[in-house]
A and B are shown apart, each in its own frame.
Chain A
Amino acid sequence: MNPNVQNPTPVLQAHALRKRYPKAKGWLEALKGVSLQLFRGEILTLLGPNGAGKTTLVKILAGLVEPDGGRVEVLQEGKRTWMGAVLEGNRNLYWRLTALENLIYFGTLRGLIPKEARRRGLELLETVGLAEKAQQTVGTLSRGQQQRAALAAALVHDPPILFLDEPTLGVDLEAQEAIRTWLLRLKEQGKAVLLTTHQMDFAEAVADRVAILQEGEVVLEGRTQEVLEGSPGAPYRIELQAPLGEGDPRLAQLRAFEAEVEGKVVRVVGEETLWEVLRILDPLPLERVERESLSLAGLFWRILGERSERCSSLPT
């Protein structure tokens, strides 16, 4: 599903956002003209190493940090509080109140009447598997349970836009799975979710689109599958009808082109290499030739590697 076709109007748009912070000598350019769009019913995942500008970007979009340049447009109807957020490094909740009390409090501050906030709160705690912990003070919950309660609090007023900055940081696998399932459900409900994470498998499992941020710039952005399949780093998979024999002289020739041979399967990277490899394999009978998807982690590290190589090759 292409959100640009089904939902032509983005719920949130950022244009050329710039932000810099003073540091010991000079300035730290946190964002260098970042633009992006967020649509209903999609999860956009921001990836990037530490210090790439992810948190600054999320906070600018949420209106918590003022940009030095550029603007953010949020599609709004009525007086609703349009955003909910779980922010990295923050408690997000009052530890001395129970999970339910937090949801009632934040729900009321975000426009619900207390009775409605209580009803929504109980419903959400049930959804995130914390119904039995509703009356327990947040400080006594485990990290994973606190994170799930924070997610519930961010959604108690039913906002169309949700910002999640590292929601799975420090939580166990069970809680991660619960968060993943819930995020997919939120997407189906039409929420626009902006997620930042360092966990590539998590990102790959939930993201409709990915944007890789490095040194304050978006270096790659697109729909997850298209980005992975269309990546020049994605390998070609050649399946032979029979495996090559141990002493086959073609094995050495294939390895010279950095081809990976595994039974009947030969993998190569790059179109030119593919044709060279096919020439070497000629006239062996082939089963199929196809392009494989790169994993998000593979793509991420390749892009980071390419960027650092480019930077190191620049004249100083």
Chain B
Amino acid sequence: MLQLAYIEFWRYLRAFFRYPLEVLGGVLGAVVVFALFFSGVRYLAGPALFGERLEALVVSLLAWTLAFSLLSYIASTLTEEALAGLLEQLALTRPGLLGVVLVRSAVSLFQIGLLNIPVFLAILLTSGARLDFHPLTLLPLATLALGALGLGLLLGGLALIYKRVGQLVSLLQFLFLGLFLVRFEALTQPWNALGYLLPLVPSVAALRLLLGRGEDPEWGLLFLTGINALAYIAFGIGFFKRALRRARRQGTLGTY
């Protein structure tokens, strides 16, 4: 497994150093968008616009950037490789297509985490938000990443069958932005409980409490973040396996 992770990371670095502007261009784009967003809003409405909600908004945006980068990564990689006719070669490897995708996803946590640091700094600097970083924050961050990978596998499964899922990914981008901005932790029952069934929502709620308000979330909420993430990663793996089987039955694994 470690060898697979090594070779995937090696492949990524080779491509990165050969075509650095491709990746850095995306990061730079995100930095500029967020910088312009916060600067523009401040210029138009003054510093009091977000009030107490500024930190909550910033945490939601940070979580959205991280989660969306992760979940779109799997789908876009699979789409690209289907287009290049490489999926069948990857299926003919020892770990198989699912194994390769899982290892890539794990490696992508590191790549995307690293690439998002400048985006996070840009958001923090231009928004003027002050976030408290508690070591416990790592837990909802990890569950957020895990849940996002589960959704990524779901999209990846759809990409195996339908190939072109770019429009769906774009649509999800806004759906998740909306979902992440709703403060389910502030809602009354049953909306609060129902909200926690949605993907990634408990992790974002815990992050808002920890980073934005400097409060420790209840253990019940932390437990929910774990259960939610595990449920979505299990669902994602199950769906991907079924999609792979269906693509094999239809004979469409290698077609685009």
In the bound complex, how far is the Cα of B251 from the Cα of A110, in angstroms? 23
- The yes or no answer to B102 lying at the interface (CB within 8 A) is no
Q: How far is the CA of A90 from the CA of B88 in the complex (A)?
A: 9
The answer to whether B6 and A114 touch across the interface, beta carbons within 8 angstroms, is yes
CB proximity to B under 8 Å, residues A69-90: 79, 81, 83-85, 87, 89-90
Interface of B is mostly: helix
Q: How far is the CA of A79 from the CA of B96 in the complex (A)?
A: 13
Query: Would A92 and B250 count as touching, CB distance under 8 A?
Result: no
Q: Which residues of B contact A90 (CB under 8 A)?
A: 85-86, 88-89, 254
Chain A residue contacts of B15, Cβ below 8 A: 94, 96-97
**B93 at the A interface (CB under 8 A):** yes
A40 within 8 A of B: no
State whether A95 touches B84 (Cβ < 8 A): yes
In the complex, how many angstroms separate the beta carbon of A21 from the nearest chain B beta carbon? 6
Mark out the residues of chain A between 106 and 153 whose CB falls within 8 Å of any chain B CB in the assembled complex.
106, 108-111, 113-114, 137, 153
Q: List the B side residues contacting A101 at CB < 8 Å.
A: 11, 14
Question: Per-position contact with B for A40-68: 1 when CB-CB < 8 Å, else 0?
Answer: 00000000000000001001001111100
- Whether A114 pairs with B10 at a CB distance below 8 angstroms is yes
A66 CB contacts on chain B under 8 angstroms: 245, 248-249
Is B93 touching A109 in the complex (CB atoms < 8 A)? yes
A105 within 8 A of B: yes
Interface residues of B in 228-256 (CB under 8 A from A): 245, 248-251, 253-254
A91 interface residue, CB < 8 Å from B?
yes
Q: Report Cα–Cα, A97/B8, bound state, in Å.
A: 13
Known contacts A79-B94, A109-B94: A97-B11 contact under CB 8 Å: yes
Partner of B89, one of A106, A114, A137: A106
| Interchain pairs with CB closer than 8 A, number | 94
Contact of B251 with A59 in the complex, beta carbons under 8 Å:
yes
Question: Are A64 and B93 in contact, with the CB atoms below 8 A?
Answer: no
- Which A residues lie within 8 Å of B94 (CB)? 79, 81, 109-111
Given the contacts A108-B3, A109-B7, A21 and B93 also touching, CB distance less than 8 Å: no
Cβ-defined partner of A92 (8 Å) among B86, B91, B100: B86
Nearest neighbor of A96 in chain B, beta-carbon distance: B15
Contact with B along A151-187 (1 / 0, CB 8 A): 0010000000000000000000000000000000000
Does A64 lie within 8 Å of B86, measured CB to CB? Answer: no
A116 to B93, alpha carbons, bound, how many Å?
A: 16
B249 neighbours in A (Cβ, 8 Å)? 65-66
Cα of A66 to Cα of B245 in the assembled complex, Å: 8
Instruction: Name the contact of A96 in the complex, choosing from B7, B19, B91, B248 (C-beta under 8 A).
Output: B19
Alpha-carbon separation in the docked complex, A32 to B251 (Å): 16
Could you name 18 residue pairs across A and B whose Cβ atoms are closer than 8 Å? A21-B250, A59-B88, A59-B254, A64-B91, A64-B92, A64-B254, A65-B248, A66-B248, A66-B249, A87-B88, A90-B86, A91-B86, A92-B86, A95-B84, A101-B11, A105-B11, A106-B89, A109-B7
Given contacts A87-B254, A92-B89, 14 further A-B contacts (CB under 8 A): A62-B88, A62-B92, A66-B248, A84-B92, A87-B85, A87-B88, A92-B85, A94-B84, A96-B15, A101-B11, A106-B89, A108-B4, A109-B90, A153-B89
Chain A residues with CB under 8 Å of chain B are: 19, 21, 56, 59, 62-66, 79, 81, 83-85, 87, 89-97, 101, 104-106, 108-111, 113-114, 137, 153
The 4 closest A-B pairs by CB, nearest first: A90-B85, A109-B93, A108-B7, A65-B251
Which B residues fall within an 8 A CB radius of A? 3-4, 6-7, 10-11, 14-15, 18-19, 84-86, 88-95, 100, 245, 248-251, 253-254
